[in-house]
Structure 1
Amino acid sequence: MQNNQKFIPDQGAIVNFTYKTGEYAGEVMENSGPRALLKVLAVLKHPEQGDLHNPYNPDVPMFHERRASSYTEKVNVPFGDIGGLYRGELPDYKESLRRAVAAEIEAIDRLKRWAERGLEQLRQLEKEYK
């Protein structure tokens, strides 16, 4: 498949896809028009929280809560957001949701710890620069 061609999966295929900042595995229910109707079966990456136009900014007027799509929820996804056929064993939805939210929490905690250490070092440098 060339880069300018879209992957158009067959009905019934299990694919991985991106939807509203989350990543999922799901079954193709319909594939007509510019989008495919997909049934969510597993969460691969939990959606990001906050204002997408101001990433990592906690001081925005509306800090959005984004929930993962529900088990068997039907979503319309542009073909360009379908990554391809899902490989491997499909995880249980609830377990995949728990793993995805735990991974997102760990990533944010790591970013928080990085910011705290960077702030400590910058405060020390600030003292030295005076």
Structure 2
Amino acid sequence: MSKADVGNEIVKISYKTGDYIGEIADRDERRALVKVLAVLQHPTQGDLHSAYDPDAAMFHERRALSYTEKVWVPRQTVQPYTGAIPEYRESLRTALGLERERVDRLRRWAEKCLANLETLHKDYGL
């Protein structure tokens, strides 16, 4: 891909646990500068080194990259994207909603686990 192709190549990237659709704005031999056009997956919250630990020392709030925000990513992580490009705010709304549903499902799973463990605690006579 030559420098002449920069600015018209639509790609999918992963960046700090989020997935995005973007446009190549620049590149060098190691990296690509990508301008964000849409959000595919909202970044995960919390400490990635202590997954699902609400008591982690640093519980991070991760925001999605902004519309037209530019970010450098390793070239090997850039994938071609050929689908429709959704409008940014709608893609953000959808990605945030899906992430909230995923976390809610985990919360409900944890509550059922706790209920089962309480029953087992009683069954064990502890």
Same fold, TM exceeding 0.5? yes
Match of 1:114 among 109, 117, 123: 109
More helix by share: 2
Structure 1: where are the runs of 5+ without partners?
A: 1-7
Q: CA deviation at 1:14?
A: 0.3
Q: CA deviation at 1:122?
A: 1.1
Give the match for residue 45 of structure 1: 41
Count of residues in Structure 1 that have an aligned counterpart in Structure 2: 122
Letter in 2 for 1:50: G
Give the match for residue 32 of structure 2: 36
Give the match for residue 89 of structure 1: 84
Q: CA deviation at 1:91?
A: 0.1
Distance in structure 1 (CA, Å) of the matches to 2:47 and 2:23: 29
Letter in 2 for 1:49: Q
Distance in structure 2 (CA, Å) of the matches to 1:18 and 1:117: 32
2:1 corresponds to 1:21: no
Q: Any idea what the Cα deviations from partners look like across 1:13-60, whole Å, max 9, x if unmatched?
A: 100010111000000111212110000000000001111110100001
TM-score by length of 1: 0.89
Q: Any idea what the Cα deviations from partners look like across 1:72-100, whole Å, max 9, x if unmatched?
A: 00100001222x21121100000000000
| Poorly superposed stretches of 4+, deviation over 6 Å | none
Give the match for residue 66 of structure 1: 62
Structure 2: where are the runs of 5+ without partners?
A: none
- Is the partner of 2:102 in helix, strand or coil? helix
RMSD: 1.6
Letter in 2 for 1:59: D
